[in-house]
Amino acid sequence: MNDEIVPWEDARVHVSTAAFKFGTAVFEGLRGYWNEQHQQMYLFRMDAHMKRLEFSQKFMRFEKIYDAGYVTEKTIELLRANEFKATVHSMTTVFVDGFGGPTVSGPVGLAITAAARGGPGLLDKGCTAQVSSWQRVPDNAMPMRVKCNANYQNGRLAGLQAQADGYNTAIMLNARGKISEGPGMCFFMLRDGIACTPHISSDILESITRATVLELLHEAGIETQERDIDRSELAAADEAFFCGTAWEITPIVAIDRLPVGDGEVGATVRRLQERFFSVVRGESSDYPEWRTPVYSGK
């Protein structure tokens, strides 16, 4: 918290800060994957997360920018201090700690937390999704490309509606009526052997897992298309899945109560999950540039 490691209960902000009043904060969620055999934790694609964090701070015109090197150093310091030997989810929040109106841009604070945490528990059996009647906020209103805390109320409404209606989560359409993404994860579908995902001008977050999946699909020789996806195409999908730091690679087995394919988790998604976990945990030695070891001397 603001450069110091403090006990959990002492990590507080004042109720008068712009962060509390207006959601003037940006964040990153990232994972450190524990590898038992290596007795090592690997931060997944730390460079990409830190680059996006710098971009979010710049875009929101924060008075001070915490740079990638500093935040990486502090994250590693926190993980080492807690001596984690499990997969962790870490949240980095850069927030306006100053008092004032909606345009106040400083002073700027930094908070990093980490806790042992698995996925949403749907990796094996998959999830169900509702196409939401809540529209994704368009880029010229509150850009989803920027990981600003306030943006998340849009997906929250969609998520709450989906849960109230008996689904696990939502798929949101953008202002053009095309598929954008889930509340906190990106969308992929397989149709006739081609993996399709909304392109980056679809009012989505430029997801690091999405970029990873595109690379792993390419490696597997599966054709990919980044393009507009119509709502009606969802019914034509053979397989579908969500991806993101928290959701990892979660199969979607039904959308609007129509089964995706035969309603079972598809073979391509399963293979992709296996490859993904072997890479992120460092069981495969491929893509070493994606893994930052936390503990030294290993």
In the complex, the residues that contact ligand PMP under the rule CB under 6 A are 29, 144, 155, 181, 184-186, 204-205, 207-210, 244-245
Nearest distance in Å: CB 80, ligand PMP: 23
Using the minimum distance from each CB to ligand PMP, give the nearer residue, 243 or 253.
243
d(CA 76, CA 293): 9
Nearest distance in Å: CB 247, ligand PMP: 7
Using the minimum distance from each CB to ligand PMP, give the nearer residue, 98 or 155.
155
Using the minimum distance from each CB to ligand PMP, give the nearer residue, 28 or 97.
28
Using the minimum distance from each CB to ligand PMP, give the nearer residue, 79 or 185.
185
Select which of 21, 58, 125, 147 is catalytic. 147
- Is omega for the bond preceding 120 within 30 degrees of 0, making it cis? no
Question: 270 Cβ partners below 8 Å, 6+ apart?
Answer: 251
Question: If we measure between CA atoms, which residue out of 240, 262, 270, 238 comes closest to residue 252?
Answer: 240
Question: 201 Cβ partners below 8 Å, 6+ apart?
Answer: 139
* 239: phi then psi, degrees, rounded to nearest 5: -145, 155
Active site residue 147: yes
Place of tokens 């524990």: 34
Nearest distance in Å: CB 52, ligand PMP: 7
Nearest distance in Å: CB 9, ligand PMP: 27
Nearest distance in Å: CB 289, ligand PMP: 17
Kindly report each contact of residues 18-21 with a partner whose C-beta sits within 8 Å and lies 24 or more positions away, as own/partner.
18/95, 18/96, 18/97, 18/98, 18/99, 18/100, 18/101, 18/102, 18/104, 19/95, 19/96, 19/97, 19/109, 19/149
Using the minimum distance from each CB to ligand PMP, give the nearer residue, 88 or 104.
88
Catalytic residues: 147
